[in-house]
Structure 1
Amino acid sequence: MNYADRDPALRPLLDQMLSAEDRDRIEPVLEELGAVAADEVDRLAALADANPPVLRQYAPDGTRIDEVDFHPAYRRLCELGFGRFGLAAMSHHPGVHGWPTRTPHVVKYALSYLFVQAEFGLACPISMTDSAARVLRLFDPETFAAEIAALSATEMPELATGAMFMTEKQAGTDIAQTATEATDRGDHWTLRGQKWFASNVTAEVILTLARVPGQGEGTRGLGMFLVPRHRPDGSRNAIRVDRLKDKLGARSMASGEVTLEDAYARPVGDLGRGFLQMAEMLNVSRLSNAMRAAAIMRRAVREAVDHTRQREVFGQPLFDQPLMRATLLPLMLDAEAALGLVIEAADRLDAADAGDPQAQRLVRVLTPLAKHTVCKQARRVTGEAMEIRGGNGYIEDWVNPRLLRDAHLGSIWEGSSNVIALDVLRCLRRERAHRTLVEEYAGRLAALDQPATKPATADLIARLEHLGERGDALVAAEAATAQARIATYADDLCRAVMAALLLEQASREIAAGRGHRKLLLAHTYLHQLVAPVPDPPALAHLGAIADGGTVDAEGAAAAYDAIAAMGAAR
C-alpha cells in the first residue's frame, strides 16, 4: 500500500500546478511519504489514538509541573511529521527535501494531505507551528528570529512547536470579549487570564491575544503576545494546565484548559493590530482544516472501495452492485473535487505571498469557502463510508470510527461552520469577493481551448454569473436576511468553483494525453449542481474513477448528454 500510488488525482494535479523542477523534486518524497503513511504512520496513529495524553500537574514532592505524558507512538509521529518530512518547516527556509528556496505551499499541502490520511491529530500542532512561524516572519521577524528558527527546525532537539491560545469561555466566536489582561513590566509584559480550549497545550511558543490597557474596546483593544513555555532564565513560565479535554476526535494530541498567572510574554508586531495579525494565523490554519478534510475523505473513499471489492454479497462483489455503485460515486466526486480546491488555494497562496493582489483577494475568500464546505462534506463522506463497511465500520478495530470522529472536528475548530459563513459574508460586503470569484473562474473557463469541454464550460459560466447576481442581492439585503441565507450561498458558490476547477483540470489532462477521465468527473459533478441524474453514465466507469484509469471521449460526452437530456425533460 502506498497512499500516493492509490490516489488517482494527486499526481496529475501536481503535474499541472508545479514547475518541471519542483515536480521532479517532490516525486521521491511523494513515494516515500505515501509508503510510510500507509504503513508506519497508520500503525502509530492507531496506537496514539487509543492511548491519549495524560496530564501530570504535580511532581512527587508536590511541585507544580503541569507536564503531559504522551504515548511513545505520538513521540514517533512527531519525529516523522516534524523531522523526517519537515511538514512545519518547509515554508520557512530553503533546503527541506532539497528545495533551493522555501518550498511552495502546493508541495506542503500535498505532502501533508498524504500524512493526514493516516494521522489527523498531529496535523493540528504541525499546522499551528507552521502558522506561528509565518506570523512571526510577517510581523516581527527580527525580534523573534530565534523563535522562527526553532519553529522551523527539522532536528528534534532544536524544535519548538507552536500553538494559538485564543478561545475563552465568553470569547469563542466573539473574540472582542477576550478578557485576558496584559500588563507592561518594562522589559516584558505579563498576562493574566484563562484560555478555555488550548490545543497543543505543551507548545514551546504560544501566540495569544490579551487586552492592552488604554487601547480601547472590542478587537481594537487586543494585542498579540508570544508566551514561551519557559522564561529567559529557564524557569517554567506561569502557565497552569487545569485539565486536558476529553475530546471526541484528535485524541492523540493534547488540548487543555489553561490559566495564565502573570505569565511572562513579549508583544508581537504592532500591539494595535493584534487581532488582524492573529487573523493571518487563523486564515492559513483554516486552509489546513480544508486540506485535512480532503485527506480524510480520500482515506474513507479508499477504505470503502477496497471493502466493496473484496466483500461478496449474494454471490457478487458489492462494488459491482448497482445501488452500491450509486452510493460510492458521489463520495469519489466529493473527495476529488475537494483536493482540487485545496491545491488551487495553495497555489493562489503562493502567488499571494509573491505579491499578486488578485491572488490575495482570492485566498481571502477561498479559504473560508473551503473550510465551510469541504469540512461539512467530510462528515457526510466518512459517515457513508462507515455505513458501507456495515457493522465492522462501527467497530474500533477499523479506522472508520476514527475518521468519523476527526471529520466532525474540522467543522468546529478555527471557527464553526456558521462563524465561517459569516466570514464569507464579510468578504462579500467589504471586498465584493463573489465578483472576484466569478471574474477569475469564468474568465479561466472561457479561455479553455479543448472542444470537449465547451458545452459544460458554457453551463458553468452561466452558473457562475447567476451566483454573482445572487451575491449582489445578498449584499444588498437586510442584515438578518443575508445572515440567514449565507450558508447555503457559500456552499453553492464553493461547489461551483470546484466544478470549474474540475473542468479546467480536465482540459489540461486531455491536452497532456491523459484521456477523458477527469472530464467524465467534471460532467458528473455538474449533474449534482444543475440536474441530478438518477442513473449517471459515470457508473459504468466507476473502476476508472476509483483507480485513475482511462475513459474515452465518448464516455465523457455521454455524461454531459445526460445533463442536457434531464434539462430538456424538465
Structure 2
Amino acid sequence: MTAIADATAHTAPRSNPDSRTHEVTNQTPPLVGHDVADDAVLLEGLRREGAEWYADDLHRLGRLTGSEQVQRWAEEANRNEPELRTHDRYGHRIDEVDFHPSYHALMDVAIREGLGGTPWAEDRPGVHVARAAGFMVWSTAEQGHCCPVSMTYAVVPALRSAPELAAVYEPLLTSRVYDPGLRAPTGKRGLLAGMGMTEKQGGTDVRTNTTVAAEQPDGTWRLRGHKWFTSAPMNDLFLVLAQAPGGLSCFLVPRVLPGGSRNTFRIQRLKDKLGNRSNASSEPEFDDTVAWLVGPEGHGVRTIIDMVTMTRLDCVLGSASGIRAGLTQAAHHVRHRSVFGAKLIDQPLMRNVIADLSLESEAATTLALRIAGAADRARRGDAQERAFLRLATAVGKYWVCKRQPAAVAEALECLGGNGYDEASGMPRLYREAPLNGIWEGSGNVNALDVLRALTREPESLDAFCAEIEAAAGADSRLDDAWRELREEFMLTDDAALRSRRLVERMALVLQGSLLVRHAPAPVADAFCRSRLAGDRGLAFGTLSAGADLSGIIARLPGAVG
C-alpha cells in the first residue's frame, strides 16, 4: 500500500493555474456570418443573363444563407429526419409526415423568396435567371428541402396543358406564402407540388408502369397502383403517370379533395436514403384515388416532360451550387490553416488543387446560368433559345451532376480529417453530391436523351453549334476540340455505346466556349489547356506549370488575391 501511495503521489497532477493542457491553435474559424452571394462568377452571370436588377435581393438572401441561424436550421433538419405516421391514435389512416421545425423554417424562406412557382406569375425579363441564382445561393445552406421547392417551380408549365386546372391552382402554386398542412387546396394561401412517375418494376422505363386509371361519369378518374419514389409526400398536388385506355397519361392527384376529404394516398414507407435526409421520399399506394387528366390521354410523357425539363435545370443549378459550396469550404480552410511554416493556400500543390476546383466551379456555374438564361428567353418566345435549351439542359444535367461528387470529395480532402468530421458539414455535402446525377434521369438516360435530340430535333443541334461558334477563332485549343466534336457527330455506328463520351465532350466544349467569351484570360486559358487540349490530368490539382494560378484563385468566393 505504501508503494502504491508513493507512486500516486509522484503521478498526481500539479495544481498550476497557468498550465495549459489543451490550447487550441492553427484551427480554421467557423465559416459563418458571410454573404454567400459575394461571388464574382455568380454575379457576372446574373448580369450577363439579364437579371442584374435582382443583385440587391440576392445579396440579402446570401447574407441570410451564411448566417449562423440558417446553418443551425440545416443541421437540425438533417439530424431530425421526417417521421411517417400512417394512422392516428384511433386507428384511422392519416398518412402524414412530420418534419422538424427547422425544415419548415427553411421552406418558409425558400417560398417567401420566390424560389418556388413565383417566376411563372411575373413577366419581367430575367425573372427565371434571378430565381436560378437565388436557388443556387439558398441551396448552399441545405439541399433536401429544395426538392419540393423545385417541383413546385417545375409543375406550372406542365399543368398549363389543362387550362381549367391551371386557372384554379396556378395562382396558389405561384404564391410566396408557405402554408403547410393537409387541407382543401383552394382554402390555402399557397400550394406545393410533386410528381409520381417511377414504379418498382420499371424505374426510368415509365412505359412499363402498371398503375391504371379509369374514367368516371363525372369526368374525374380513379387511379389504382403503387409508386416507387415519390418525394415530399406532404405536398398538396402531384402529377402522376398512369395507364389509361388510350395509353400512358398524366394526372393531377391532390392529397385533399376540393370538399375537404382526404384523397387515398397511402404512404407505405419512407426511403432510408444515403443523403437528402431532411426530405421525405415515399412509396404511395393509390386505391380508387381521385385524379384529373392533364393533357391528352395517351400523351403522359409528352405532358410531364415540361416538368422534367425544369427539374433537370434545377439539378444543374443544385450541382453547381454543391460544387461551389465545397470549394468555398475548402478555400476558407486553406486560407487559415498553416502547414510546414506557411498557409496552405501558399503551398504550391494545394494552390494547384484549389485553382483546379475553382475552374470546375466556374465552368459549372457559368453553364448553369446560361441554361437558366435560355429557359427565361424560351418562355418569352425565343425559338433559338428554346432549341438550345433542349440540348443544353440534357448535356448540363449529365456533366455538371457527374462532376459534383468528384469535386466535393476533393474539397473535403482539402480539410483533411476535419473534413471527415460531421461537425464540418462536409460529410452531409458529400452524401448529397450523387443525388442530382440520379434524380430526373441518371447519366445514361440523359446521354441517350441527347442522342434522341440530335436525331429527332436537328434545330437543337443547329442552336448548339451556333453557341459554340460564337467563340470561333478565340482559342486554337477550343477550335481543335470543336472540330473533333463535329467529326464525332458524323459517326453513326455504336452511337448508344459512345454516347457518354460524346456528351462529355459536348459539355466541355460548351463550357470552354462560354469561358473563352466571358471569363478572365487566366481562367479560360487554364480550362482549355486542362480540359480540351492534350494536357489533361485525371485528378484535381494537375494543372500544368503554365497555368496562371493566381489569376484563377482571384476568382474564389471572398478571394483577396
What TM-score results when the alignment is normalised by the length of structure 1?
0.86
Partner of 2:438: 412
Q: Of 527, 530, 533, which residue of structure 2 is paired with 1:525?
A: 527
CA change 1:392–1:41 in 2 (3 A) is: same
CA RMSD between the two structures: 1.8
Report how far residue 519 of structure 1 moved: 1.7
Partner of 2:168: 146
Q: Of 471, 475, 488, which residue of structure 2 is paired with 1:470?
A: 488
Q: Of 227, 235, 240, which residue of structure 1 is paired with 2:261?
A: 235
Matches within 5 A, 1:272-283: 272-283=298-309
Preserved contact between residue 36 and residue 62 of structure 2 (Cα < 8 Å): yes
Mapped to 2, the partners of 1:263 and 1:434 lie a distance apart of 39
1:328 correspondence with 2:354 = yes
Structure 1 unaligned blocks of 5 or more: 95-99, 216-220, 447-453, 507-517, 552-570
Mapped to 2, the partners of 1:378 and 1:241 lie a distance apart of 31
**Given residue 43 of structure 1, which amino acid in structure 2 is its aligned partner?**
R
SS of equivalent residue, structure 1 residue 207:
strand
Mapped to 2, the partners of 1:342 and 1:433 lie a distance apart of 21
Question: CA deviation digits over 1:141-194, x for unaligned, max 9?
Answer: 333312111211112341111001101001212111011000111221110000
1:207 correspondence with 2:239 = yes
1:486 correspondence with 2:499 = yes
Report how far residue 209 of structure 1 moved: 0.6
1:79 correspondence with 2:108 = yes
Question: CA deviation digits over 1:513-564, x for unaligned, max 9?
Answer: xxxxx2210110001221325323322435413257799xxxxxxxxxxxxx
1:545 correspondence with 2:555 = yes
Preserved contact between residue 543 and residue 549 of structure 1 (Cα < 8 Å): yes
1:193 correspondence with 2:225 = yes
Report how far residue 355 of structure 1 moved: 2.0
CA change 1:109–1:190 in 2 (3 A) is: same
1:316 correspondence with 2:345 = no
Partner of 1:499: 512
Mapped to 1, the partners of 2:460 and 2:259 lie a distance apart of 51
Preserved contact between residue 394 and residue 400 of structure 1 (Cα < 8 Å): yes
Report how far residue 14 of structure 1 moved: 1.8
Q: Of 68, 73, 83, which residue of structure 2 is paired with 1:44?
A: 73
**Given residue 94 of structure 2, which amino acid in structure 1 is its aligned partner?**
I
Worse-superposed segment, 144-153 or 402-411: 144-153
Preserved contact between residue 308 and residue 318 of structure 1 (Cα < 8 Å): yes
Partner of 1:170: 201
SS of equivalent residue, structure 2 residue 227:
strand
Mapped to 2, the partners of 1:455 and 1:365 lie a distance apart of 23
Worse-superposed segment, 348-357 or 380-389: 348-357
Report how far residue 102 of structure 1 moved: 7.5
Question: CA deviation digits over 1:394-423, x for unaligned, max 9?
Answer: 111111111111111111111111111111
Mapped to 2, the partners of 1:77 and 1:226 lie a distance apart of 26
Partner of 2:117: 89
Q: Of 356, 375, 381, which residue of structure 1 is paired with 2:382?
A: 356
Preserved contact between residue 128 and residue 164 of structure 1 (Cα < 8 Å): yes
Question: CA deviation digits over 1:405-442, x for unaligned, max 9?
Answer: 11111111111111111111111222247842553124
Choose 1 or 2 for highest CA Rg. 2
Mapped to 2, the partners of 1:159 and 1:549 lie a distance apart of 40
Question: CA deviation digits over 1:11-47, x for unaligned, max 9?
Answer: 12222221xxx423x1221111000111133221111
Matches within 5 A, 1:9-408: 9-18=41-50, 22-24=51-53, 26-39=54-67, 40-83=69-112, 85-94=113-122, 101=124, 104-137=127-160, 139-157=161-179, 158-187=189-218, 188-213=220-245, 215=246, 221-408=247-434
Instruction: From the two aligned structures, give the one with the greater helix fraction.
Output: 1
State percent identity of aligned pairs: 36
What TM-score results when the alignment is normalised by the length of structure 2?
0.88
**Given residue 523 of structure 1, which amino acid in structure 2 is its aligned partner?**
D
CA change 1:545–1:482 in 2 (3 A) is: same
Partner of 1:535: 545
SS of equivalent residue, structure 1 residue 203:
coil
Q: Which has the higher contact order (CA 8 A, sep 6+)?
A: 2
Question: CA deviation digits over 1:369-414, x for unaligned, max 9?
Answer: 1110001111101000111111111111111111111111111111
Question: CA deviation digits over 1:25-79, x for unaligned, max 9?
Answer: x122111100011113322111101111000111011111111110000011111
Partner of 1:510: none
**Given residue 479 of structure 2, which amino acid in structure 1 is its aligned partner?**
I
Question: CA deviation digits over 1:438-458, x for unaligned, max 9?
Answer: 531243114xxxxxxx551x4
Mapped to 1, the partners of 2:403 and 2:269 lie a distance apart of 32
Mapped to 2, the partners of 1:345 and 1:2 lie a distance apart of 27
Question: CA deviation digits over 1:318-343, x for unaligned, max 9?
Answer: 11111111211221111111111011
SS of equivalent residue, structure 2 residue 523:
helix
Structure 2 unaligned blocks of 5 or more: 1-32, 180-188, 536-542
Preserved contact between residue 90 and residue 102 of structure 1 (Cα < 8 Å): no
Report how far residue 5 of structure 1 moved: 4.5
Mapped to 2, the partners of 1:51 and 1:296 lie a distance apart of 22
CA change 1:375–1:10 in 2 (3 A) is: same
CA change 1:444–1:113 in 2 (3 A) is: same
**Given residue 295 of structure 1, which amino acid in structure 2 is its aligned partner?**
S
